[in-house]
Amino acid sequence: MDRRAFLGASAAVGLAALDLPDAEAVIRRANRSGPVAVGMGEVTAVRTMTATLGNAASELGGGHARHLAVRYLTMEVNRWLDGTYSERTARELFAATAELVHLIGWMARDEGHQGLSQRYHQYSYALAAEAGDHELAATALRGLAEQAVDLGHIPTAVRVAEACEQRGRKLDNPKALAYYRTTLARAAAVDGDHATAVRMLNSAQVAIERAPAAPGQSWASHYSHGRWTHDAGMIHARLGDHAAAEEHLHLALDIHGLDRKRTRAIVLADLGQVQLKRGDTETALATWAEFLRCAEGVQSVRINNGLADIAARLAAIPGSPAAHELRERITAHE
């Protein structure tokens, strides 16, 4: 996919990413003349930088490191893509770049830049497809599906999530299977398709239960038991089973850990919402107080949305000293 075409692509969430690029393009790029000779050392560098920047973003939010990631892509990785390399190196380089581009898309979405995020995920998909990497291609589709859900493009979300899950069937990585099937479960739940949501969620549970606890090397291999439990809890909440939702969210926090500040804060915000819907107001307020402590210093639209949602719900709890204190803390946070 031409980078100029990528930069000029439409910001609207669409289905263009479902169209496979030329699968032989990577072969034509290999062994051509270029200003820089590229080998596996450069591929390793891209993957190391992606892991480092990803760890920072997971802890502190996408707003902290996106500009660093973009600068690395444009100043270093782009000249390697225009360099000279073997076919084997080309596929590895394209796959590594797809991961970096996907990370930038995730960071942009976490900052609230939806159109920019969509374009990066499309570019990541094109690179992954050229590299012949089904997992990375499915991961890019997952990013597009999740974004479509957030923006309310539900039919688009379902179709892209279906394509994501179909790509994932080609893999034998249980974490990847759980990752993509949970994506389809969420889209189906939002679409009101209870049967598909439950079927996909049950299938994802079977996959995650046989997955190793330790993270692997790929993006999907970092999909932890804790993250799946959080996702499952929110799908149960969408399906109206708030008891199961609260149980899963507690499991995510208390048993499966979640040691990243951003991730833990998001789960706490969600848990408070579920507790409030179950009529347990005082517990919800205590959970949200912990959320505020955990959210300090995190730059993420998910955190900002959580603050706004909590503030709106606190207004409906008059006469509560705990609610009044939370309102003052949220005002100070802003």
Interior CA angle at 89 toward 86 and 91, to 5°?
A: 110
Within 10 A of 105 (CB to CB), how many other CB atoms are there?
A: 27
The predicted pLDDT at position 228 comes to 96
> What is residue 37's DSSP assignment?
B
3-class SS of residue 84: strand
Distances (CA, A) of 236 to 65, 77, 144, 162: 33, 41, 22, 20
Residue pLDDT, tens place only, 103-159: 999 999 999 898 899 999 999 999 998 898 999 999 999 999 999 998 899 999 999
Domain-wise residue ranges, the chain: 1-132, 260-334
pTM of the model: 0.86
CB-based burial of residue 51 (10 Å sphere; 0-12 exposed, 13-18 middle, 19+ buried)?
A: middle
Within 10 A of 279 (CB to CB), how many other CB atoms are there?
A: 9
| Whether pLDDT at 314 is above 60 | yes
Give the pLDDT band of residue 176 (cuts 50, 70, 90): very high
Mention every residue, 6+ apart, whose C-beta is less than 8 A from residue 124. 98, 99, 101, 102, 105, 136, 139, 140, 143
| Whether pLDDT at 216 is above 50 | yes
Give the pLDDT band of residue 7 (cuts 50, 70, 90): very low
The predicted pLDDT at position 6 comes to 33
The predicted pLDDT at position 10 comes to 31
The predicted pLDDT at position 5 comes to 35
Give the pLDDT band of residue 16 (cuts 50, 70, 90): very low
